[in-house]
């Protein structure tokens, strides 16, 4: 049994924010290798129009492939009902609808107000509830720009809480908090997680999506751990960021995150040497893109014993 769930988002968040397009075969090799390293959840793409994000145009094919890997939860992002229909048709196990707490960001990102996004949420819930239980994907509302916005600046925690409640009332299985812009600090993470949990219920919030834009990514993970968060999104090599939030670059690095957790005695189920080797697939497929991470550069400490090995 693992202590922490690492949700790899590189094939979605990473790839959507770089100019290079990764060929389908390389995506398959990446996903297969990372699953073989012990990663049990991967966000493999996004069902958005191909003209908006040509990098993710093959998401249905990627989902079909990823579904063939045993014990892997295949997650996707959906911006609206149409995306959710495509995700269901492809057989994704988990859908995340991003709802920007900053309405300015929401209008720019998906051209919809909060009220329109909540309508969309209810429509998706109706679709999912019409499916037989064994084919019904899990549905998460992702509260993006929850810690601050490059367009609006300060984002009110009251607004985050209110939208979290609204998403749960609309029928989401859970909500997640996203630091889309890399504005979060550890104290803010603790405060906001506590507030959302007390308003929505502890079961309603288990995951954090953090970026390392200002170097506080792992400090924010520590803050999340202290208040009981058990799922963290991260990207192999810290690839990418948010193309709609100027200045935001790079999710927290999966390799460094796994190293920190395992060194602390928290089991992720991930084999670090195997995980580090997956970078070679990215380097070969994306020769022009920069990869980040300290652990891959420094190597594992002499005598290092991961928690997962116990």
Q: Which of 8, 13, 43, 58 binds Zn ion (CB under 5 A)?
A: 13
Look up residue 10 and give its two tokens. Answer: 């590189």
In the region spanning residues 95 to 114, those forming contacts with Zn ion, defined by CB under 5 A, are none
Phi, psi of 244 (to 5 degrees): -95, -5
Per-residue mark of binding to Zn ion, 206-245 (x: CB under 5 A): ----------------------------------------
Q: Which one is catalytic: 149, 172, 200, 242? A: 242
Q: Which is nearer to Zn ion, 9 or 118 (CB)?
A: 9
* Least distance CB 13 / Zn ion (angstroms): 4
Give the binding-site size for Zn ion (rule: CB under 5 A): 1
Comparing CA positions, the residue from 259, 263, 266 lying closest to residue 295 is: 259
* Least distance CB 248 / Zn ion (angstroms): 7
Q: Which is nearer to Zn ion, 13 or 140 (CB)?
A: 13
Q: Which is nearer to Zn ion, 13 or 262 (CB)?
A: 13
Q: Is 140 in the site for Zn ion (CB under 5 A)?
A: no
* Least distance CB 231 / Zn ion (angstroms): 14
How many angstroms separate the CA atoms of 254 and 236, rounded? 5
Q: Which stretches of 170-220 are assigned E, i.e. beta strand?
A: 174-178, 205-209
Q: Report the run of H or E that residue 140 belongs to, with start and end.
A: strand 138-144
How many angstroms separate the CA atoms of 255 and 233, rounded? 12
* Least distance CB 232 / Zn ion (angstroms): 12
Look up residue 188 and give its two tokens. Answer: 């803010």
Comparing CA positions, the residue from 71, 92, 192 lying closest to residue 139 is: 92
Give the dihedral sign, CA 95/5/286/74. negative
* Least distance CB 134 / Zn ion (angstroms): 31
In 3-state terms, what secondary structure has residue 41? strand
- Which position's Cβ is nearest Zn ion? 13
| Listed ranges 12-20, 114-122, 218-226, 258-266: which one lies at the site for Zn ion (CB under 5 A) | 12-20
Q: Which is nearer to Zn ion, 29 or 184 (CB)?
A: 184
| Listed ranges 11-19, 73-81, 224-232, 259-267: which one lies at the site for Zn ion (CB under 5 A) | 11-19
How many angstroms separate the CA atoms of 149 and 157, rounded? 12
Q: Are 282 and 18 in contact (CB under 8 A)?
A: no
242 catalytic? Reply is: yes
Comparing CA positions, the residue from 211, 202, 207, 156 lying closest to residue 183 is: 211
In the region spanning residues 260 to 279, those forming contacts with Zn ion, defined by CB under 5 A, are none
Q: Would you name the residues annotated as active-site residues? A: 242
User: By the criterion CB under 5 A, which residues form the site for Zn ion?
Assistant: 13
């Amino acid at each position: 049994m693992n202590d922490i769930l690492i949700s790899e988002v590189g094939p979605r968040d990473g790839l959507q924010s770089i100019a290079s397009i990764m060929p389908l075969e390389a995506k398959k090799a990446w996903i297969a290798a990372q699953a073989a390293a012990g990663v049990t959840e991967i966000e493999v793409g996004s069902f958005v129009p191909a003209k908006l994000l040509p990098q993710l145009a093959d998401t249905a094919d990627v989902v079909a492939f990823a579904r063939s890997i045993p014990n892997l939860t295949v997650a996707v992002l959906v911006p609206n009902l149409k995306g959710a229909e495509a995700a269901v048709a492809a057989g994704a196990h988990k859908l995340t609808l991003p709802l920007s707490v900053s309405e300015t960001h929401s209008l720019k990102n998906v051209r919809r107000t909060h009220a329109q996004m909540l309508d969309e949420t209810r429509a998706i819930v109706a679709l999912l509830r019409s499916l037989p239980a064994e084919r019904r994907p899990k549905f998460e509302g992702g509260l993006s720009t929850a810690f601050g916005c490059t367009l609006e600046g300060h984002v009110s925690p009251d607004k985050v809480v209110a939208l979290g409640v609204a998403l749960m009332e609309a029928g989401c299985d859970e909500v997640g908090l996203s630091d889309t812009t890399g504005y979060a600090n550890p104290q803010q993470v603790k405060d906001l997680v506590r507030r959302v949990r007390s308003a929505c219920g502890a079961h309603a919030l288990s995951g954090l999506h953090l970026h390392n834009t200002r170097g506080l990514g792992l400090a924010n993970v520590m803050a999340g751990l202290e208040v009981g968060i058990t799922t963290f999104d991260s990207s192999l090599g810290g690839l990418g960021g948010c193309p709609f939030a100027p200045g935001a670059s790079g999710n927290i690095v999966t390799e460094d995150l796994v190293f920190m957790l395992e060194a602390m005695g928290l089991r992720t189920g991930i084999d670090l040497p195997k995980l580090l080797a997956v970078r070679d697939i990215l380097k070969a497929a994306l020769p022009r893109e920069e990869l980040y991470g300290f652990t891959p550069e420094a190597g594992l400490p002499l005598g290092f014993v991961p928690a997962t090995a116990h």
